Amino acid sequence: MLLFGMKNFLQLESKKLSGTANCKKKLSALSQTKCDNNKKKHQYKKLFVAYPKFQEYLEITNRLCVLKDERDEARRYCYYLSRPLYNELAKRMRLDINRLILISPEEIIGFLEKKMRLPSNKELLGRQRNYIIRNIAGKLVSSSDGKALAFSKTHLKEHEEVTNNKTITGIIASKGIVKGHVRLIHDKSDLLKINRGDVMVAITTHPDYLSAMKRAVAVVTDEGGLTCHAAIVSRELKIPCIVGTKIATKVLKDGGLVEVDANKAVIKILKRS
């Protein structure tokens, strides 16, 4: 499902950057922000002149923030360049391209070398529901569907009973207090569920979630920290955001009413769906 095509993207950008003057204004603002941030960094370094180790950590953190963005940019470019390969693999396997993720590299190579059959449709459906790959004595062993679910409930801590929690805590990424109805986002096919005033709840967010994040009144995620995608975008949109909750997608249900207090890093369940 294509939620945001090239036509929509061009229309949005043409409105944001209408005319040369507006482009120059935005570039000037970005340049000024960079200059202001550098001044603040030097001010902080002066405050801790007696602590050279702290100054070293500050410089390392600054460089890591840049490297993190460069890494993500390189990764996305690799995804773009590898798309023709995925299309060709899906064509040869007679599969929907979105199901390739359910097939291991060994299974793909085995199929191409005509040494192995692809997993059955029943097995792939089971992997869609639950899928675990374990390393046992150096050998990868996979389990799917009921066996995978049983293993995860027994051995994985994140499957502990958490459904009775009335409050959830996390990390403050963007301050504010709002109330709204929960919309669980598992993948981009769920983005159309988000209406204006809803609270987006996801394991994590991605760049293709942006159009829905603009409609949300707040964002809550299981994963992430102060420099994750959800945190950065929420600060730009000036909406409350709490990240790193670990359990939000397991406790909260679609349609439930919550209060997101991003001043205290607490999500209160006001009404369950």
Domain ranges of the chain: 39-93, 95-159, 167-271
Sign of the Cα pseudo-torsion (183, 264, 230, 222, in order): negative
pLDDT value at position 179? 97
How many C-alpha atoms does 241 have within 13 Å on its Cβ side? Answer: 29
Residue appearing with tokens 């840049």: 66
Q: What is the pLDDT of residues 208-235, one digit of tens each?
A: 899 999 999 999 999 999 989 999 999 9
CATH number, domain 167-271, options 3.30.565.10, 3.30.420.40, 3.10.270.10, 3.50.30.10: 3.50.30.10
* pLDDT value at 252 more than 60: yes
Position 189 scores a pLDDT of 87
Q: Give the tokens for residue 75.
A: 């990764």
CB atoms within 10 A of CB 250: 18
Confidence label for 196 from pLDDT (cuts 50, 70 and 90): very high
Structure tokens at 51: 């602590």
With vertex at residue 269, the alpha carbon angle to CA 267 and CA 273, rounded to the nearest 5 degrees, is 135
pLDDT, mean of residues 36-48: 86
Taking residues 139-145, report their average pLDDT: 85
Q: What is the pTM of this model?
A: 0.65
DSSP state, 25? H
178 DSSP β-pair partners: 260
Q: How far is CA 267 from CA 169, 177, 220, 222, 231, in A?
A: 6, 10, 9, 12, 16
